Structure 1
Amino acid sequence: MGELTASLAHEVNQPIAAAVTDANTCLRWLAGDTPNIEEARAAAMRIVKDAKRAAEIIGRTRLLFKKGIRERELVDVNEVIREMIVLLNSEATRYSVSIWTELAADLPQVMGDRVQLQQVIMNLIMNAIDAMKDVGGRRDLAIKSKPAEDETLWFRSAIQG
């Protein structure tokens, strides 16, 4: 859990640090003898984008650990996989793990609890990263999805390293 917390802190810190840099840039553009309003506006727009990115990461994390009534809904599994890869990207980078996907374009949505599915996929990815931490050479994590027979879903993660 400590490693995940460090990874999430790093993931949130990136857009915040970028926003601070852009804020300082904006102030410099405005402080000149002839303020450059267009450059300041561009820097301010980057600040907004970075702040929204940080808020999105925090929001996804909050939903992931939210307790309470579970809701069943149609869930796009590929979307959840992509979200978890973004969320855990810094953890993968920390251990030099490359993640690549083969996600079926025709994958049907599944009826289930989105948060529980996020937790399952997060655990699978974290376990795969953990299994490769101390391995030398290339560290690849392949995540594949495809529809299977009998209205089931096939999800596979494979590690190489």
Structure 2
Amino acid sequence: MERGIFRCPPQWLPFLPPQVRCPSPQELPLSHWALLALTPAGARAIGGVQLRCKCLLVPGDCPVRTTAPFVISYGLSARDSLTLSGVRQPVLCIQRTLPGPGGALLEPQEIPLGELPGPPEALLGLLGLRLLLMPLTKALFLE
């Protein structure tokens, strides 16, 4: 099973985990994804395509059709599984237990974010993808 991010912004490419690829629109319904992340542009572009995946990472304000047992939303709403908080320093908030790297569970927690290559709200999809695929380290996420 594959891992992918649909409509990945070019500036994110250097930060993608090595096992993640950027599928074309034609590939989306043909593959069974272990993890598929949709950017806001990707979620808008798929239209009514049925997505087959084990875990789907999707903007909270974009409804999609899927058979995924795990749908993880990201955004700035309290309903989203991954969101942000923090006044002076951005903090990634895990709102509910999520499937993590290697089958481990990620418990609800707040993770301070260090230096980021852009506004944290614009990077939530990338941060979520890395969180789900890579072990947490002291140099959090984007080094």
Work out which structure has the larger RCO, using CA pairs closer than 8 Å and 6 or more positions apart in sequence: 1
Q: Could you say which structure has the higher strand fraction? A: 2
Whose Rg is larger? Answer: 1
Give the TM-score normalised by structure 1.
Answer: 0.24
Give the TM-score normalised by structure 2.
Answer: 0.26
